[in-house]
Amino acid sequence: MDETLLKVEGLQTSFFTDDGEVPAVDGIDFSVHEGEILGIVGESGCGKSVTSLSIMGLLPSPPGKIVGGHIYYKGEDISRAKESRMRKLRGNDIAMIFQEPMTSLNPVFTIGEQLMEAIRLHNHLSKKEQVERSIELLKLVGLPRAKELLAEYPHELSGGMRQRVMIAMAMSCNPKVLIADEPTTALDVTIQAQILDLMVKLNKETHTAIIMITHDLGVVAQMCHRVVVMYAGKIVEEGPVKEIFSHPNHPYTEGLIKSIPDLHGKKDNLYTIKGSVPRPGSIAKGCLFAPRCEFVMDKCRVNAPELSGSVHKSRCFLHQEQGRKEVHT
Amino acid sequence: MFYYSIKRLLMLIPVLLGMTLIVFAIIHAIPGNPALTILGTKATPEAIHSLNRSLGLDNPWYVQYFSYLKDILSGNLGTSIQTHAPIASEIWPHLAATIELSFIAMIIAVFVGINAGIISAWKQNSFLDYTAMILALIGVSMPVFWLGLLEQWGFSIKLQWLPSIGRDDIRNGVDPITNLYLIDTLLRGRLDQFWMVIRHLILPAIALATIPTAIIARMTRSSMLEVLKSDYIRTAKAKGQRMVWIVYKYALKNAFIPILTVIGLQTGLLLGGAILTETIFGWPGVGLYIYNAIQYRDYPVIQSGILIIAFIFVMVNFIVDLLYGLFDPRIKYR
């Protein structure tokens, strides 16, 4: 994990609605290195997907707009790049797979047409080479009958197969970064595991860095190297996966870990974090998590903590002062 | 697909039979005695009786219906009361004139309508969108006879750019082969006449195209708006595809089913004789032919005209049905 491929600096993305500006992503920093799998976790509405769409330059605009910060790809600021430049990067350098495999493929074109288009857009290959490459890709993602599949339409495939096709399409030009926005949420559990295994395998074989966006910490534990925990548009904790799981610093991360169902546990009720994610921009001052925090202190309601630490960073006063365990005892 | 086509074709039989029955019934519901009309009021009862017998009008209605059906199937549409000529041969030049005009009008309507609809959807809520949709609203609401008169006044009388009436110049008439003048002039190698025929087509075709253009534009816009929001459009963008390509290739093919339905219905309506447009522009089409027949109470002509129009309408929709499968593979024909 040497070279930094993608660096997000102080990214702020807002949606301009009739009720005014809603900051969906509010000043986040993180970076992705070559060959790394970075997890971005958080509840629905915390800004995970908006972050990924901001990177791709695919925000629905209007109403969405990047209002501050920078996104560097190999040192080039792409947050304000021209559309023509972004088109060259999309699919070729940074590829993306989406949450909904059922609706993400065009229903009126064959798998072959859609795959070959992705290949053709960034490579000069003959028709025959395109077909060969497509078959190779379908085999790479573990689809049987690759040749016949090319002539089939998306509705003839199952959800898992379609997601494999989506992955094949994303991998078609050997991207440096693959953004996976909840790729397994819409699939059933056994298929989920297969798709995750496939992504880990691709990461190992092709050294493509993966940004894994998910709300499922189990997925993070299974495949990611590092993880970024987002809450209400901000990063609350960041660090190596093992470190975060063994010593979560932020009460929110701790809550997320505690709420994973444990097969060996004897508890009847699963742990829940009380309350729900605040609407972006609705908390004017103090820590965004304060209203739901078990360890809330007076100053949490007045001042907002900064993200601090070197490798394992967190945004919580508990850690910046005494360290967590003392407070506990 | 092949079996579906055959099945769908067989299903047309009851539709067409029903159609002939209705046309037959309408004519028989009209009060008055044909023999009396033909022979005049001074005819003797004997003469009327013998004419009724020779026309087969003394038979029960179902016998008359079957002999009518037999005539149609053998291509005999009867004789015009007005001209005493067989309708089957008389109606074709009129039908050809209507087909030619409708075809050009539909080309304009499809081209302009689809593009206007696409641009409106693509640049939703922009100045272009509002302009296109206001024009479409005016297009649907404007009476064709008024637009036609306006065109004649502006382009024929004031500017003198285009002829206002007919299919060709009286002193430079087209020598018909198929009666589709665009084809005939080319077959005879008369490019000057081909150009003349086009000049005659422009004004009536535009008048005739207004309403279909507006309807197609509005249908395209709403259908495209829905498609452009879908996930697979986002996927295409994520591949790095150009927006123009996404809109015209990916989105349009998905949005095309409802547009195709509208195109089919409008084509059927235009072929059914645009009586107003044809009357204003002196276009010798089926519309004008039937209009004249109505004025002379030429029942056999009216009957055959309605039958042919209904037949064309059914066939156009049959073709549209078959085309659905071409645009959407999810439509399974069983």
Domains of chain B and any CATH numbers: 2-73 (no CATH), 88-327 (1.10.3720.10)
- pLDDT value at residue B187: 87
Q: Where are the beta strands (DSSP E) in A34-138?
A: 37-41, 64-73, 76-77, 94-97
* Cβ distance of A105 and B232 shorter than 8 Å: yes
Residue A182 belongs to some domain of the structure: no
Question: Per-residue confidence at A328, pLDDT binned at 50, 70, 90?
Answer: very low
Give B101-157 pLDDT, tens digit per residue: 999 999 999 999 999 999 999 998 889 999 999 999 998 898 888 999 999 899 988
Question: Per-residue confidence at A327, pLDDT binned at 50, 70, 90?
Answer: very low
CA distance B267 to B113: 14
* Cβ distance of A155 and B330 shorter than 8 Å: yes
Does the beta carbon of A96 lie under 8 angstroms from any beta carbon of chain B? Answer: yes
Does the beta carbon of A113 lie under 8 angstroms from any beta carbon of chain B? Answer: no
Greater confidence (B131 vs A295) lies with B131
Burial B27-63 (b: 16+ CB within 10 A, else e): eeeeeeebbeeeeeeebeeeebeebbeeeeeeeeeee
Q: What total number of domains does chain A contain?
A: 1
Residue A280 belongs to some domain of the structure: yes
Residue A108 belongs to some domain of the structure: no
For residues A307 and A50, is the Cβ–Cβ distance under 8 A? no
Range A230-254 average pLDDT: 86
C-alpha torsion B138→B140→B144→B150, nearest 10: 10
Residue A132 belongs to some domain of the structure: no
DSSP B10-69: HHHHHHHHHHHHHHHHHHHHS-S-HHHHHH-TT--HHHHHHHHHHHTTTS-HHHHHHHHH
- pLDDT value at residue A329: 39
DSSP A120-171: HHH----HHHHHHHHHHHHHHTT-SSHHHHTT--GGGS-HHHHHHHHHHHHH
CA distance A236 to A228: 8
Residue A275 belongs to some domain of the structure: yes
Give A8-52 pLDDT, tens digit per residue: 888 888 888 888 888 888 888 888 988 899 999 888 778 888 888
Q: What percent of chain A has pLDDT over 70?
A: 94
Residue A114 belongs to some domain of the structure: no
Give A156-208 pLDDT, tens digit per residue: 988 888 888 988 888 888 888 999 888 887 778 888 888 888 888 888 888 88
Query: How far does the CA of residue B22 sit from the closest CA of chain A (Å)?
Result: 40
Residue A154 belongs to some domain of the structure: no
Which CATH number fits the domain that encloses residue A253? 3.40.50.300
Give A66-84 pLDDT, tens digit per residue: 888 889 988 888 888 888 8
- pLDDT value at residue B134: 93
To probe the interface with B, which of A87, A106, A117, A137 has the most B CB atoms within 10 Å?
A106
Question: Per-residue confidence at A326, pLDDT binned at 50, 70, 90?
Answer: very low
CA A169 centroid distance within chain: 18
Domain that holds residue A73: 4-34+49-89+225-328
Give A267-278 pLDDT, tens digit per residue: 667 777 777 777
Residue B127 has phi, psi (to 5 degrees) of -60, -40
CA distance A292 to A43: 14
- pLDDT value at residue A267: 62
Residue whose entry in the numeric block shows the structure tokens 């004519």: B27
* Cβ distance of A108 and B236 shorter than 8 Å: no
Range A288-313 average pLDDT: 80
pTM, rounded to two decimals: 0.81
Per-block mean pLDDT, blocks of 10 residues, chain B (334 long): 81 90 83 73 82 79 86 85 85 90 94 95 90 91 89 90 85 82 86 89 92 94 93 90 90 92 90 81 88 82 87 88 84 64
For residues A89 and A72, is the Cβ–Cβ distance under 8 A? no
> Strand A76-77 to strand A64-73: parallel, antiparallel, or no bridges (unpaired)?
antiparallel
Q: Which residues of B touch A106 (CB under 8 A)?
A: 232, 235-236, 250, 254
- pLDDT value at residue A1: 47
> Strand A64-73 to strand A4-17: parallel, antiparallel, or no bridges (unpaired)?
antiparallel
Q: Classify A27 as helix, strand or coil.
A: strand
Residue A121 belongs to some domain of the structure: no
Residue A295 has phi, psi (to 5 degrees) of -105, 25
- pLDDT value at residue B217: 95
